[in-house]
Structure 1
Amino acid sequence: MKNRTANLVVTGLIIFAGIGIFGSLLANPAGFLQRIAVIILIGGIVYFFFRHFYLSTPEKQEQRAFIKAAKRSKKRFKHKDGKQTNRRSNVGSLSSLKKQNRRKKKSPVHLTVIEGKKGKKKNRASF
Structure 2
Amino acid sequence: MTRNWVTPVIYTLIALAVFYVGVQLFTNTSSFLSSIVMMIGIAVLIYGAIYFFFLRNRIGSGANRNEMRKYKQAVKQSKQKYKAPKPVKAAKTNAAASKSTSLQKKKSKRKQPSHLRVIEGNKNNKKDRASF
Q: TM-score, structure 2 length as denominator?
A: 0.59
Residue 86 (str. 1) matches residue 93 (str. 2): no
Pair 12,101 (structure 1): closer, same or farther in 2 beyond 3 Å: same
The residue number in structure 1 matching 2:110 is 103
Residue 44 (str. 1) matches residue 44 (str. 2): yes
Offset of residue 61 of structure 1: 2.1
SS at match of 1:107: coil
Pair 14,108 (structure 1): closer, same or farther in 2 beyond 3 Å: closer
What root-mean-square deviation, in Å, do the aligned CA atoms of Structure 1 and Structure 2 show?
3.2
Q: TM-score, structure 1 length as denominator?
A: 0.61
Amino acid of the structure 2 residue aligned with 1:86: P
The residue number in structure 2 matching 1:4 is 4
Offset of residue 105 of structure 1: 4.6
Offset of residue 39 of structure 1: 0.2
Pair 69,57 (structure 1): closer, same or farther in 2 beyond 3 Å: same
Give the share of equivalent positions with the same residue, in percent.
24
Amino acid of the structure 2 residue aligned with 1:103: R
Which protein has greater RCO, CA pairs closer than 8 Å, 6+ apart? 1
Offset of residue 69 of structure 1: 3.2
The residue number in structure 1 matching 2:24 is 24
Pair 103,32 (structure 1): closer, same or farther in 2 beyond 3 Å: same
> Which consecutive residues of structure 2, in runs of 5 or more, have no partner in the other structure?
89-102, 117-132
Find the aligned partners of 1:26 and 1:55 in 2 and give their Cα distance: 40
Offset of residue 23 of structure 1: 1.5
SS at match of 2:85: helix
After superposition, what is the alpha-carbon deviation per residue over 1:35-77, rounded to whole angstroms, capped at 9, x for unaligned?
Answer: 0000001101111111121113356323244324312320211
> Which consecutive residues of structure 1, in runs of 5 or more, have no partner in the other structure?
91-95, 110-127
Amino acid of the structure 2 residue aligned with 1:50: I
Please say which structure displays the higher CA radius of gyration.
2
The residue number in structure 1 matching 2:77 is 76
Find the aligned partners of 2:114 and 2:70 in 1 and give their Cα distance: 19
